[in-house]
Structures are given as structure tokens and as C-alpha cells.
A and B are shown apart, each in its own frame.
Chain A
Amino acid sequence: MKNSNDIIDDIASKEYEFGFTTDIEMEIAPKGLSEDTIRFISAKKNEPEWLLQWRLKAYAAFLKMKMPAWQHFDMPQIDFQNVSYYAAPKQKKQLNSLDEVDPELLATFAKLGIPLNEQKMMTGVAVDAVFDSVSVATTYKGKLKELGIIFCSFGEAVQEHPELVKQYLGSVVPHSDNIFAALNAAVFSDGSFVYIPKGVRSPMELSTYFRINAENTGQFERTLIIADDDAYVSYLEGCTAPQRDENQLHAAVVEIVTLERAEVKYSTVQNWYPGDKDGKGGIYNFVTKRGICRGAHSKISWTQVETGSSITWKYPSVILQGDHSQGEFYSVAVTRNRQIADTGTKMIHMGKNTRSRIISKGISAGHGDNSYRGLVKIGPRAQSARNFTQCDSLLIGDQCGAHTFPYIESRNNTATVEHEATTSKIGEDQIFYLNARGIDTEKAVALIVNGYAKEVLNQLPMEFAVEAQKLLSITLEGSVG
């Protein structure tokens, strides 16, 4: 019979499923960061002058900024000069349809479970596939266009809809928000752009799948989602990367704007390469995600399942500007081996009767370290604002850590702020009970963890929820204490 220690050792040997690399001819910018790098990227993308100037302004801000020091882990030294800021699969001409996409790339995405060819596409989900620095394909574009929905790569949006990009770019996450956001603003190469016109509910889920492939490159994508009055969209984001010994930097920015009565639901299943059992390699996932409920009665909801990356540093937030607007944050973060997650949210209440809800579930196994960090801020105008926060931690084994850093600032005495927190361990008793009903230990842990995370998983769209459940089970396979 296996004892707990053997089983804990087993997780270490559990392979990362998406660690393969794609052999394809790439165009990679030389390593290093300077104004020239930025001009190179901007020229590659044939950008207008205003965008180049915006990038350069961000770069100037970046140079003056320091790495954050408040997080609950030692910030690794990142040599920004040792990273390549642009990597794109070589292609000979402008693509007119999916049939012209390099078969090697189609095969890569198919292997990741994201079929891009028309026959096999996921029904009800439109996908924008981003490979290293560029978007390689967007499905169902035509169908969405009929409804006036714009769903395309960021680069394309700059060319086709410059007025929208100019109006909203940096309006939620300013170019100088934090060092990683500034870096992103300076060097971002692609990402997704979504615009849902007035009164339109997107009939399908929109999804971006990010894949890092090239070595020694960073991925700096930017997503901008705008939901006009009475619009609705559910947006999904997935990501994986090959298994490599060096750390790779992923510094993305996501901005969401909702106007009157609009709603955006943003779901992430993050499965970047987490590094090996000793913490070698893995993705540094330093991401700034923020939405603003600009219109009254609008709503932004973040749901995230974070199982990958060696370090996750992200705080998807909502600025509740419109009266009666709502912000939600549902999170499951898993850390095992030497993984670190410092994640949470900020809910900034500005409008009257604004409401926010935070449900955070941390799961730590092995030597993993998991911190919830959250800020609930109630401004002086936010009459009768309400927040409910629940953050739970589940520990597996006795080498892991869980921490909670909730900050509450209220400047309006009509506000109601509630905070609940629990910490629990998967008990030997629970596992034995399930064993005694014929359920083996692996399945028992999966059952317990999925039960624990249910409130969050329930928020995910159907297809994603099933994937996320499987991912949680696989990620924690054998991690029993």
C-alpha cells in the first residue's frame, strides 16, 4: 500500500501534458529591449504614428519603474535584455482564409484540443488562436460580422477599426499602471479585440487560445473587450506552453469596458508550463486584468482557474463606476511542487448601489505557496455599496503554504462589506472514508477538490467546466497528505 509520502512524490513525476514544441520556421527579433525594438515591432505591424508614440511613452515610463516588492514571494531577477520581444511563424503572404494557415500550426492547435479547421471547429465557440507574438487564425468571423460583432486579432483591429482602438486602448489599464503593464504597452505584439455593438448578445462564446512556443521569448499580448449599451458576451481564455528549463515571461494586459446595462463574463483556464518538481523552468505569469463598469447596471464577471505557471501574479479587478453596476471574481488557484500564486482582485466601488462578490479558492500541494490578495475600496459617492468576500484555502500535505491578505477601505458609512475566510486540510479521514466505499485515493482527492472548487467551476461555461474539472484532477493527481 502507498503511504502519503510516496503519493506526494508521485505528483512530481506527473508530466505536463502540453510540453511539446512545434518545429516551424520563425521570424524572431534579436534579444534586447530598446526604442529600436519598439520601432521594429510597430513597423512590423504597420502601425499608425499615434500608436508608436503611445508605445514609446509607455517605454519611457517603464524605464523609471521598479519591480513591485509587496508580493508574498521573492521576485525573481528578470533580465529584460535577455528576452526576445517578437517571434512570429514565417508566412509568405496575407492569409485570406483558414485554409492558408500553415498545417503545422493547425496541427499544433489540434493537439491542444483547439481545432481551427472549419469542419472540426467547436460548435458555439469562436476562437482566436495566438501563437507566440501573432494571431494565426480567428474562426467564425463571418458569422459574427453579420451581427456587427467585431472579433479579430489586435493587429487587425488597429488597421480596420483604429477609432475604437484609439478611444479605448489604455483607458482601463493606463500605460504606466505598473511595470509589467508598462512593458506590455511598449512591446505588445498581438492579442484579441472584441466589440459588441449596442443591444447585441453574442450568440456564441468568444475565445482566445494563447500558445508560447519559441525559446527565450516573452509573450506580451493585449486584449481589449468593449460591450456597448445592452450588449452581452462571454469570453474564454486558455493557454499552454512547452516544457523548457528557462523561465519565460508572460506579461499580458486585458481591458474590459461595459457601457449601460452591458455584461461581460471573462473566464480563464490558465495552464502555462509550471516548471519541474524542483522549480526549474516554467512561465512567469505577470498579468494585469481590469474592467470598468462605466455604464449604470452593467456587470463584469471574472472567473479563473489557475493551475499552471511557476509564478502567477494577477489581480483581475473591476472599477464599479456606473450606479448599480456589479463586479464578480471567482477563482480557483492551484499550486504544487514549487509553484507560487499571488492572486486576487480589486473591487473599486465608485457608483451608488454597486455590488461586488469575491469567491476565492486556493489549493496548495507539495511545496506550493498560495496567497489571496484582495482590495475592496468603497468611495465616498458609493452609497449603499455592498461587497461579499469569501476566501478559502485547502492544504494538501504539510509542506505547502496558504496566505490571505484582504484589504478593505471604506469611505462611505452606508456600505456593507463582508469577509469570510476558512482554511482546511484534505483529511486522511475523508480519503479513508471514500476508500472504504471502493474509491481509490486519486479519485478521492479529485472528488474532494472538485467539491471544494464547485462554486467557482459552476461559473464556467459548460465545455470549459468539464475541462477545468479534468485539469484539476490531473494537476493534483496523487497529491495526498
Chain B
Amino acid sequence: MLSIRNLHAEVEGKQILKGINLEINRGEIHAIMGPNGSGKSSLASVLAGRENYTVTQGEIIFEGQDLLEMAPEVRAREGIFLAFQYPVEIPGVSNITFLKTAVNEMRAYKGLPPMEARDFLKYTKEKQQLVSFDANLMNRSLNEGFSGGEKKRNEILQLAMLEPKLSILDETDSGLDIDALRIVSNGVNKLRNSDNAFVMITHYQRLLEYIVPDFVHVLYNGQIVKTGTKELALELEEKGYDWLKEAYHLKESV
């Protein structure tokens, strides 16, 4: 589904990603871990097409197409979804209006007519229940005055409604209490299937107890320095990142 090959990227002239290689297939869940500043969120931003990131080398192929050639909205319509670490607030635009616009844009891209109001409400209700989203938040302005947990759950609701092929969850677990974490994880588990894939960016092993990954990658200094299975996450939890950093620098200096 997604192939990242030798990806180098910089922001404001500073090199952030220094040769990332990653293959993601349908039905897989990948976790990306790593210390602060290792480039995890930058990778998510590059995949979603944030403007201030410049790719200097390498390529990203998504479903056989060059992802880097696509504008951010086209990537979204092709099936890439980024659950934001810090979802923005848009005053005066109701959550439901926003969702309707997004759903209908995706449909238009596929050559489908806009969804009838009644069908849309039914669809929304169904998805809302699937991810246990508070119905009272639907008519409020998008994310305005939402708690941290409500914002994250809104991201998962959007994920449920847009049905992307590849979802990137950028620290979706940060700032969630244990109940909220369970709700969010349940949502993701219900949405995963053999056709879609997930990338979870996280600091903590905790999330991976709820959503079990097929692969765990450790990002350090703009590169994937180690790949393993869920046991690697446990090992990181126990030993921290220092042993990896040392091993990495040893390799560098050779």
C-alpha cells in the first residue's frame, strides 16, 4: 500500500528525516516510537503534505502513485488520513457542517453525488455510536471548547466517517486518561480490517496494549534504527531509548 524509500526531508532548512525506509501492507498496524525530536511527527506531516516540509530526496509511493506529487486534499481523497496531535479549532463552523463537507468532497472525487441529508444523518449516527462520540458535540463549532479527549475522539469519528485506506495516528494517546484511551482504542479496533492499514505514532507502550501492532519501528535522529514486533515496545518501556542511542552512535562512528 505504502512504500517510503530513502526519504529525506527538511523544515526551515533543517534536516529532519534522513533516509526513512518503510513498507506498509493492507491489514497491517505499524507503531512508530522514539524519543522527542526524533522525527516522528515530521514523518506524519510529510505524509499528509504539510506545506513547510520540503522533501529533498527519496520517494513515497501510495497505491502505485507518487504521493509527493499530490496536494494535501488529494492525498486525503486518495485515502490518507492524519489524526492530528493538536486538532485545530474553527469557530462558527459546526462539526456536522464540517463532516458533511468533507464526506461530500470525498464522494465528489469518486464521482458520487452529495449524500442526501437523511442518509447523512443516519450514517453519522451509526459512526458516532461505533466510536462512542457524544452527540451533543455534533452541533458545536469544530473542536471549539472541546476538552483534549473530546478533540481526539473527534479525530477518530472523522476517521470512521471518511473510511481511509491508511490512517496515521499522531500521538492520539497523548493527553488521554485511561477511559478515553480505551474508547479511542476500541474505535480503532472496530475500524481496522484486512483492507486498511494504520500507523500509530506514540511515546508510550501503553497504547499498544489496546491496539496491538504487527510491527514496531524505532525512529531516532531521522532514521528507523530498529524494527521489531510488539515485544520491542515492551523492551523500550523497560530500558528506555539510551541503549539504542548508544548502539546507533557506535554504528555511526564506525
Query: Could you list which residues of chain A lie within 8 angstroms of chain B, going by C-beta atoms?
Result: 1, 3, 427-430, 432-441, 443, 447-448, 450-455
Count class of interface residues, chain B: 20 to 34
Tell me, rounded to whole Å, the shortest Cβ–Cβ distance linking A439 to chain B: 5
| Across-interface contacts of A428 in B (CB, < 8 A) | 51
Chain A residues positioned under 8 Å from B76 (CB to CB): 435-438
A428-B51, A440-B73 in contact; A447/B93 too (CB < 8 A)? Answer: yes
A453 to B90, CA, bound (A): 12
Residues of B within 8 Å of A3, CB to CB, are 51
Contact B48 A436 (CB under 8 A): yes
Given contacts A439-B73, A439-B101, 11 further A-B contacts (CB under 8 A): A3-B51, A428-B51, A433-B87, A433-B90, A434-B98, A437-B76, A437-B158, A438-B102, A440-B105, A447-B101, A451-B93
- Bound-state CA distance A207–B85 (Å) is 50
Determine the chain A residues whose CB is within 8 A of the CB of B75 once the complex forms: 436
Task: Give min CB distance, B112 to chain A, whole Å.
Answer: 13
What are the residues of chain B within 8 A of A450 when measuring CB–CB?
Answer: 92-93
Given A432-B72, A435-B71, A439-B73, A451 and B90 touching (CB < 8 A)?
A: yes
The CA of A447 and the CA of B77, in the complex, are separated in Å by: 18
Report the minimum CB–CB distance from B172 to chain A (whole Å): 14
B interface with A by C-beta (< 8 Å): 48-51, 71-73, 75-77, 81-82, 84, 87-88, 90-93, 97-98, 101-102, 105-106, 109, 141, 158, 162
Q: A429-B88, A430-B88, A443-B101 are in contact. Are A436 and B71 (CB under 8 A)?
A: no
Q: In the complex, what distance in Å separates the CA atom of A451 from the CA atom of B89?
A: 11
A-B CB pair tally, cutoff 8 Å: 77
A424 to chain B, nearest CB (A): 8
Q: Which residues of A contact B97 (CB under 8 A)?
A: 447
Looking across the interface, which residue of chain A has its beta carbon closest to that of B141?
A451
A-B residue pairs in contact (CB < 8 Å), sample of 17? A432-B50, A434-B98, A434-B102, A436-B48, A436-B49, A436-B76, A437-B76, A437-B102, A438-B106, A438-B109, A440-B71, A440-B105, A447-B93, A448-B93, A450-B93, A452-B92, A454-B92
Whether the pair A438, B162 counts as a contact (CB closer than 8 A) is yes
Q: Given A435-B71, A436-B48, do A455 and B92 touch, yes or no (CB 8 Å)?
A: yes
Write out the residue numbers on chain B whose beta carbons fall within 8 Å of the beta carbon of A430.
88, 90
The docked-state distance in angstroms from the alpha carbon of A12 to that of B51 is 23
